[in-house]
């Protein structure tokens, strides 16, 4: 087979092929003799030899799989469809330039076959190979789990040597017995070792010949094969040198008291400061025993150092430094950046357009209607119908009318009118909230002002001077409920599902493309076989006895040459088609990689919000220093109530209350002066 493969790949000429066949014609192991011949005569380069051996090994495995699979089907352990499906997958493996695996190992690992069925197939194959009943080893062709299988063996081979294999299957020794004869060849010993499944780590034929010639191996063992031990790896890790919890947004104690001074330290670094250091992973290396079975080790995980503006990476790619002085942050995708503020000296309007900046934003004028400011921390004079999206805090020095705010930090505003605010932290208002909708994971604080005709949902309670007026539409207050985080988690989950749908569509396209490539590859092999046969026919015709070549032979050679031209053209067209399909396949894989990166970021963001939710349980209470106007609707996590009469200086909370001689969850109003 080796000479045909070498000829097919055009590594040798027809003449070199004929010479090689003649030189190795009488060898006991023809393929091994050909390999040694090619190496000795230096006919092939090292690269060509590696390609040739890899192709030879792949074809041998496919042949082995064909025999094993047919036997499994004949015995009723595997359906014909399962077998054909696995063989198609094996062909796809070769198309992708990977080595196929023994089909018996695959089926035992995925439990398509149990161990008893596997052994029965092996025994059946051995009976077919040795119908006379001569005693042979019942060792499987390949063990499904080489790490847990006892490979130990001590048996005498027909050539008169004792073979001993250790339990791990990593080492094989031979020694001479009384039946050993010096006339045995190295090729014969190697052939019998290969019959026992020993195909990896075998010593060179010259060393086996030294074993034959030496008289010292009747008592001392000779190591004839050695596997390669696996090497465990180590996961990569990253150490950060700044505070990375960017979700901090202040806190409230169990009694509902707010420490306005303790809002958490804001990290700041000098230019040149070390921000993060990566400790690279140590690659794991799979082992391989003498039966050419892979000995697996646990996979290791890598981590990427991700960085954005204001950060530079060391030349070795293992350390990140601050390029500027500023605030370092770590976002949901683990990207580090250092931000310093972008300053808009006047209004944000048609002259400036939207502001989209990864760092802090300072707007000294007004954020006008229809314009957006998107950044980390945003500080603005006035919002007049504009929209703010911030990954950090938002401060509006004056008021906000008809605006929108989304912030993953705290929000502080002088007054709010006809606006919508979503925030992860606390909302603090100096004067009033009028005709607005508020949803926050923190608290709503307006100690010196009023809340009028508004809908407030807060996770950590409400603190206000006045809740409603006699002439306004009553307020609705929901406390102890984290609607902001629930909304964010729903949005993230929708995006995750959309990305997964995109992945599934790409997988279907890849599967269809792989089937096409498999068919094309099969057709390619058929064309190569036809070309090889036509060339072989020409070679045999040219070697026919008689001189000169007869007219009939010349005519046949010309017919074969025309056939070769046509087949070569068809082969080239088919190979071009395969290359285009492979390019398309790579495009699909790149899109899959992009979707996987998106999913990784979304899941990281999902984990961050989930941890925030776990660390910040709701506080179901409202503290009103002035009046709570009748008609106000109060919703807790579990119960609701309408305030039926105006009360003053009270604490409203959800708690267990006495009812009909029992206790139940309810809304309780407590005098705050007690």
Model confidence pLDDT, tens digit, residues 110-134: 778 887 787 788 777 766 655 444 3
pLDDT-derived band at 441 (thresholds 50, 70, 90) equals very high
Q: Which two tokens stand for residue 445?
A: 């604080």
Whole-number pLDDT of residue 1? 64
Sheet-wide strand order for 237-240: 237-240, 274-279, 319-322, 311-313
Model confidence pLDDT, tens digit, residues 341-372: 777 888 988 887 888 877 788 999 999 998 99
More confident site: 55 or 147:
55
More confident site: 439 or 286:
439
Which whole number is the average pLDDT over 210-237? 88
More confident site: 617 or 250:
617
- Among 487, 427, 424, 418, CA closest to 453: 418
Whole-number pLDDT of residue 631? 93
Tell me the C-alpha distance between 116 and 508, whole Å.
36
Q: Is the dihedral of CA 636, 641, 643, 647 positive or negative?
A: negative
Whole-number pLDDT of residue 430? 93
Tell me the C-alpha distance between 214 and 418, whole Å.
100
Q: Is 369 exposed, middle or buried (0-12, 13-18, 19+ CB in 10 A)?
A: middle
DSSP state of 149: S
Which whole number is the average pLDDT over 441-468? 93
Tell me the C-alpha distance between 82 and 161, whole Å.
41
Model confidence pLDDT, tens digit, residues 216-225: 787 789 999 9
Is the pLDDT score of 434 beyond 80? yes
Is the pLDDT score of 258 beyond 70? no
pLDDT-derived band at 16 (thresholds 50, 70, 90) equals confident
For strands 161-165 and 153-156, give the pairing.
antiparallel
- Asked if the bond preceding 548 is cis, omega within 30° of 0, the reply is yes
Model confidence pLDDT, tens digit, residues 303-341: 889 999 899 999 999 999 999 987 788 876 789 988 787
Residue 320 has a CB neighbour count (10 Å cut-off) of 26
Which whole number is the average pLDDT over 542-567? 72
Is the pLDDT score of 140 beyond 50? no
Whole-number pLDDT of residue 127? 66
- Asked if the bond preceding 324 is cis, omega within 30° of 0, the reply is no
Q: What percent of the chain has pLDDT over 70?
A: 88
Whole-number pLDDT of residue 137? 35
What are the backbone angles phi and psi of residue 502, rounded to the nearest 5°? -60, -40
Q: Which of 191-200, 441-450, 660-669 has the lowest mean pLDDT?
A: 660-669
Model confidence pLDDT, tens digit, residues 582-629: 888 889 989 999 999 999 989 988 988 888 888 888 999 999 999 999
The residue with tokens 């806190």 is: 251
Mean pLDDT of the chain: 83
Radius of gyration of the chain (CA): 39
Is the pLDDT score of 163 beyond 70? yes
Q: Any bridge partners for residue 644, and if so which?
A: none
Whole-number pLDDT of residue 265? 45
For strands 222-226 and 171-176, give the pairing.
antiparallel
Whole-number pLDDT of residue 386? 94
Whole-number pLDDT of residue 543? 67
Contact call for residues 293 and 284 (beta carbons, < 8 A):
no
Model confidence pLDDT, tens digit, residues 164-182: 999 888 999 999 998 888 8
Whole-number pLDDT of residue 548? 55
Question: 3-class secondary structure for 295-335?
Answer: ECCCCCCCCCCEECCCEEECCCCCEEEECCCEEEEECCCCE
Q: Is 479 exposed, middle or buried (0-12, 13-18, 19+ CB in 10 A)?
A: buried
Q: Is the dihedral of CA 70, 71, 72, 74 positive or negative?
A: positive
């Amino acid at each position: 087979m080796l000479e045909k493969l070498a000829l097919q790949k055009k590594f040798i000429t027809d003449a070199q092929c004929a010479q090689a066949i003649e030189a190795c014609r009488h060898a006991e192991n023809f393929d091994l003799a050909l390999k040694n011949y090619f190496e000795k005569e230096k006919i092939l380069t090292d690269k060509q030899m590696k390609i040739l051996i890899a192709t030879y090994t792949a074809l041998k495995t496919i042949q082995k799989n064909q025999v094993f699979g047919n036997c499994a089907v004949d015995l009723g352990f595997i359906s014909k469809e399962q077998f054909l499906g696995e063989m198609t997958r094996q062909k796809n493996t070769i198309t992708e330039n990977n080595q196929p695996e023994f089909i018996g190992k695959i089926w035992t690992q995925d439990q398509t076959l149990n161990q008893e069925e596997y052994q029965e197939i092996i025994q059946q194959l051995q009976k077919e190979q040795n119908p006379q009943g001569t005693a042979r080893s019942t060792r499987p062709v390949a063990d499904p789990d080489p790490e847990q299988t006892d490979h130990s063996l001590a048996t005498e081979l027909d050539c008169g040597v004792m073979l001993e294999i250790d339990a791990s299957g990593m080492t094989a020794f031979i020694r001479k017995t009384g039946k050993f004869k010096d006339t045995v060849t190295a090729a014969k010993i190697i052939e019998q070792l290969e019959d026992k499944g020993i195909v990896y780590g075998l010593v060179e034929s010259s060393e086996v010949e030294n074993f034959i010639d030496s008289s010292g191996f009747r008592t001392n063992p000779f190591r004839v094969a050695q596997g390669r031990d696996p090497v465990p790896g180590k996961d990569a890790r990253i150490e950060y040198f700044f505070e990375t919890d960017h979700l901090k947004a202040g806190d409230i104690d169990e009694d509902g008291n707010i420490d306005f001074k303790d809002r958490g330290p804001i990290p700041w670094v000098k230019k040149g400061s070390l921000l993060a250091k990566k400790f690279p992973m140590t690659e794991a290396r799979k082992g391989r025993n003498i039966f050419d079975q892979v000995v697996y080790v646990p996979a290791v995980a890598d981590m990427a150092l991700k960085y954005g503006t204001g950060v530079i990476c060391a030349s070795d790619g293992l350390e990140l430094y601050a390029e500027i002085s500023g605030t370092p942050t770590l976002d949901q995708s683990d990207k580090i950046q250092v931000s310093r503020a972008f300053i808009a000296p006047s209004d944000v309007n048609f002259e400036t357009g939207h502001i989209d900046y990864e760092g802090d934003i300072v707007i000294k004028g007004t954020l006008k209607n229809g314009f957006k400011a998107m950044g980390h921390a945003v500080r603005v004079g006035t919002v007049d119908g504009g929209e703010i999206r911030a990954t950090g805090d938002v401060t509006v020095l004056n008021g906000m009318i008809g605006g929108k705010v989304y912030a993953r930090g705290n929000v502080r505003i002088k007054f709010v009118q006809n606006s919508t605010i979503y925030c992860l932290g606390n909302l603090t208002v100096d004067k009033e909230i009028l005709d607005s909708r508020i949803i926050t994971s923190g608290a709503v604080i307006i100690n010196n002002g009023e809340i009028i005709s508004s809908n407030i949902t807060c996770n950590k309670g409400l603190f206000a001077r006045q809740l409603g007026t006699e002439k306004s539409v009553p307020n609705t207050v929901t406390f102890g409920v984290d609607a902001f985080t629930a909304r964010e988690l729903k949005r993230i989950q929708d995006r995750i599902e959309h990305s997964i749908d995109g992945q599934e569509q790409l997988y279907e396209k890849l599967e269809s493309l792989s089937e096409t490539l498999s068919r094309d590859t099969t057709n390619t092999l058929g064309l190569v076989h036809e070309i090889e046969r036509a060339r072989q026919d020409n070679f045999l015709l040219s070697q026919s006895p008689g001189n000169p070549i007869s007219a009939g032979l010349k005519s046949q050679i010309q017919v074969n040459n025309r056939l070769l031209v046509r087949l070569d053209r068809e082969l080239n067209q088919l190979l071009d088609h395969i290359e285009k399909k492979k390019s398309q396949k790579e495009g699909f894989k790149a899109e899959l990689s992009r979707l996987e990166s998106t999913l990784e970021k979304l899941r990281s963001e999902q984990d961050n919000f989930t941890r925030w939710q776990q660390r910040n349980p709701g506080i179901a209470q409202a503290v009103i220093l002035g009046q709570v106007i009748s008609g106000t609707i109060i919703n807790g996590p579990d119960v609701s109530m309408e305030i039926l009469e105006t009360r003053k200086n009270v604490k409203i909370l959800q708690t267990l209350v006495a009812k009909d001689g029992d206790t139940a969850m309810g809304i309780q109003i407590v005098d705050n002066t007690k």
